[in-house]
Amino acid sequence: MELSQLSRDDHDSSHNEHSSPVDHAPLLTNLFTGSRSDQKKAKALSDAIDKSLRADKERQQREGGIKLLILGPSETGKTTVLKQLKLLYGRRGLDSERQTFRRIVHLNVMKAMQTLVSGMEAAHIRLEKQENEQHLETVLRLESLLKRYSISSIGFTNPAIPRKITDAKAETDLFEEMVPAIKALWADAGIQQTYRTCTQLSIQDSASYFLDAIDRLARPDYVPSDGDILQARVRTLAVTEHVFNIDNVAYRIYDVGGQKSLRKYWAPYFDDVNAIIFMGALSAYDQPCEDEPRLNRLQECLVLFNHIANHKLFAVTSMILFLNKIDIFQRKLDAGSLVNKHFPEYRGPNDYYSTTVFFQYRFLQQVKDLNKQVYTHFTHATDTNQMRVIVVAVNAIVQRLNLSNSGLM
């Protein structure tokens, strides 16, 4: 099955507004009168549900667990959610990845400053300090140098995707050489103005997080913290499978590359899916697509969600929508970026509450089956405390719907 089979016209029809509540299981006390006979019936039903749950969990363990896909366009936070699951439920957390992420963090820092310098020049913003001109020239060299290095995560080997091998020592030497220029420029008012006002820059969300910590990251004994790994930007170039035990249920979770060129590799993983987490980045509402500048990234995300939510293979699949990067979204609103400039159909105030309601409605509009529930969460995927609560909620949703599909609820 090719991805082209997923394609449909996003504007085929309009849809009525519908909500996405998390329904609660009916209370047994509402179904029975309270007599001794009915109490026995209630207990028998409760025991049957408990037995079914145990049997279902045992079956899931034998068969490899619940199959869950994390889908969405690139740079929506899919891999960050996976890293959170490793941190919360993995046997070793993120320990096995720390040394690998050291080089990724350093590359992220250099890429962030290179993007800011390019954005400053494009916006005709001037440096505050004349002496920083030499640092500007140093960073401008990064554009060609960084093309040598790959900031990507390779999962299952795919012969269609070449694997780039990089020299870790060369990267470390380059980073050490660039640190003085990066520090000086990040402290310059011109670069700060670029960061605050040029909201359409295609800059990684963690730019300020890492640039503010440049001294710590430049230490010879630097080892990335959990927070650093969660913030680090890694481009996924293949499908990766991970198994987690959540509430004694095994989950097989697949993280996939979101670039258009990689979506044709999604199809083999569509069969027998129990749940889909679809990721959309609200912060992308004012950004153009890299490969199609005339298309807005969030508009592209809506089109893709339409294809996934209405696909025949997912007719009975739990659909969980993560509208992610709410922290970046809020920052852009505060900086004066107008939602109606990019979504002219929006007529409300440019505040967080009104705009998030609008975007949630736009996503729910895409679902043609009005009986299909979409469980929506507004997420900040790098916030471990929030993700812990959301993962518990997602697990409850999946378990409840499994019971419902088995006819016990």
Q: Tens digits of per-residue pLDDT, 84-139?
A: 998 898 877 788 788 888 888 998 999 899 999 989 998 999 999 988 998 988 88
Look up residue 398 and give its two tokens.
């999946």
Determine whether the annotation assigns residue 192 to a binding site.
no
Check whether 236 is labelled as a binding-site residue.
Answer: yes
What is the layout of strands, in order, in the sheet containing 275-281? 240-246, 249-255, 66-71, 275-281, 318-324, 374-378
Q: Is 259 annotated as a binding residue?
A: yes
315 is in an annotated binding site: no
The verdict on whether residue 94 carries a ligand-binding annotation is: no
Q: pLDDT band at 65, cuts 50/70/90?
A: confident
Instruction: Tell me which of 162 and 374 has the higher pLDDT.
Output: 374
How far apart are alpha carbons 339 and 215 in whole angstroms? 36
Q: Is 272 annotated among the ligand-binding residues?
A: no
pLDDT of residue 32: 42
Nearest to 80 by CA among 208, 261, 262, 206: 206
Is the pLDDT assigned to residue 6 strictly greater than 50?
no
Output the CA torsion 377→382→385→327 (10° steps).
-60
43 labeled part of a ligand binding site = no
Q: What average pLDDT does the segment 56-85 reach?
A: 76
- Does the annotation place 80 within a ligand binding site? yes
Task: Find out whether 228 is annotated in a ligand binding site.
Answer: no
Q: Per the annotation, does 372 bind a ligand?
A: no
Whether residue 139 is annotated as binding a ligand: the answer is no
Confirm whether residue 161 is marked as ligand binding: no
Delineate the domains of the chain, giving CATH numbers in brackets: 58-76+258-405 (3.40.50.300), 95-231 (1.10.400.10)
According to the annotation, is 271 in a ligand binding site?
Answer: no
Q: Is 394 annotated as a binding residue?
A: no
Residue 256 annotated as binding site: yes
Q: Which residues contact 326 (CB under 8 A, 6 or more apart)?
A: 282, 283, 352, 356, 378, 379, 380
Residue 390 has pLDDT above 50, yes or no: yes
172 belongs to an annotated ligand binding site: no
341 annotated binding-site participant: no
